Amino acid sequence: MTDSTGADPRFSALPGRPGKIVAIHLSYASRADQRGRRPAHPSYFLKPSSSVAPSGGTVERPHGTELLAFEGEIALVIGTTARRVPLERAWEHVAWVTAANDLGLYDLRANDKGSNVRSKGGDGFTPLGPGLVDARTVDPGALRVRAWVNGELRQDDTTAGLLFTLPRLVADLSQHLTLEPGDVILTGTPAGSSVVGPGDVVEVEVDAPEAAGTPTSGRLVTTVVQGEHPFDGTLGSLPAVDDLQRAEAWGTPPAPHLTAELREKLLRAPVAGLTAQLRRRGLDRTTVDGVRPMHPDAKLVGTARTLRFVPGREDLVARHGGGHNAQKRAFDTVAEGEVIVIEARGETGSGTLGDILALRAHVRGAAGIVTDGGVRDHAAVAAVGIPVYSAGAHPAVLGRLHVPWEVDVAVACGGTTVEPGDVVVGDGDGVVVIPPGLVEEVVDATLAQEEEDGWVAEQVAAGHAVDGLFPMDARWRARYDAWRASR
């Protein structure tokens, strides 16, 4: 595959064909938190140089697959041989920085057992370029990577958000293998990676916003096309997907956007009315039972961010309870308008949060907290002012009964299942969970019913009997319809 000059166009953005491409699994805090795990050390895999593609090219989503995902990344191109280099000298061995798209096929990931040979090694799965940024002109701690899909910004992060600095990756790799001129290091992707399909156009750009002249790689453009050749199952395992692969390929789904108008409607709609409308639609297990509000007069409206605790076991507490565990990740990353919903199995014999975490959620703009367990520092949490629903107060720490296990999964809270992104509404009566696809229909029906019930209450207050009025028979319905029409 060469042009008229004998050069291979796949490597037009590089000084030549790389001897090896080394990629890192998890490196950005935003991506690690999305996956629910923060590695203590970097880990790596290799990609073949045959996977390299230039800007402006295409990549096939193979026949019979569905989960081709893009990953915008910063690529480092080694300039001088690096073997057992100290951290403080590591950046000197990087000649250039450019943009990369570390494409991966999740349909093949499970059978690769972490090697990513097939899932990440396909032809065209490593677009690089289009330009090289001189590494000597930029601060490795102040680079930015952005990715767009069909013109919509999907990823935007900087190397300030890395768990492991770029020089550290170079130094670490050099103690295990020799990095040679032309080798490429793919330094990981931030949150926002997701699935693309035929016709989608992915663009990735790496720049240094704080450097003089804002050096940039330019936009690396790749168009997805549909492959026509199926895999031969007699030669090896066929593509297969499950819920885990789908969830990780798509990334954490963004919470449904509650417009100002929809939020205002939900603030007016009583939980009892919302529950009744859900029941009319066949959903009878939508209330979070056994929880009471700290602030009965405060209304809770938001989208669910979930956190799951498992029963306490000493060895698990030691392994999962310390450091930046799942509980801390949930409170550190909760977004404005989200409600942290905690599965504590209805166990009230310890706290599931205290005043510091309540304050953290409040500062980040969380809409509230719902837990079917206890709350420590109850008075101090109440003083924070954020709406909190719990099973009551308890002075014991979390580790007495619980291990913080995972975030952003379906949880069971107060007898109902809550998925990330579900709409959560609470008032003095309790908490209800509404599937996002039903929320507008349900709230409109609830408000209409509230108006009707208000009119009925006026008739009863005026002395009319409830027989035929509640519920309304045809005569009263006609009177009500006439009243509404006259307004």
At 32, list the tokens: 């690690």
Query: Binding residue per annotation — 368?
Result: no
- Degrees, nearest 5: CA angle 469-473-475: 95
Q: Are strands 72-78 and 184-186 parallel, antiparallel or unpaired?
A: antiparallel
Query: Binding residue per annotation — 357?
Result: yes
Coil/strand/helix, residue 160: helix
Residues 30 and 304: their CA atoms lie apart, in Å, by 18
Residues 91 and 80: their CA atoms lie apart, in Å, by 10
Query: Binding residue per annotation — 355?
Result: yes
Q: Are strands 201-207 and 220-226 parallel, antiparallel or unpaired?
A: antiparallel
305 within 8 A of 420, measured Cβ to Cβ: yes
Helix (H) or strand (E) holding 445: helix 439-461
Distances 211 to 110, 138, 215, 263, 379 between C-alpha atoms, Å:
41, 6, 7, 42, 49
At 222, list the tokens: 């790749």
Residues 6+ apart with CB under 8 A from 461: none
59 within 8 A of 103, measured Cβ to Cβ: yes
Residues 84 and 81: their CA atoms lie apart, in Å, by 10
At 188, list the tokens: 């990981």
Residues 344 and 466: their CA atoms lie apart, in Å, by 43
388 within 8 A of 294, measured Cβ to Cβ: yes
At 208, list the tokens: 């240094």
Query: Binding residue per annotation — 289?
Result: no
For CA atoms 338, 342, 348, 352, give the dihedral sign. Answer: negative
Query: Binding residue per annotation — 108?
Result: no
Query: Binding residue per annotation — 467?
Result: no
Residues 43 and 22: their CA atoms lie apart, in Å, by 10
Known binding-site residues for substrate equal: 354-357, 376
User: Residues forming the annotated binding site for Mg(2+)?
Assistant: 377
> Which positions make up the binding site?
354-357, 376-377
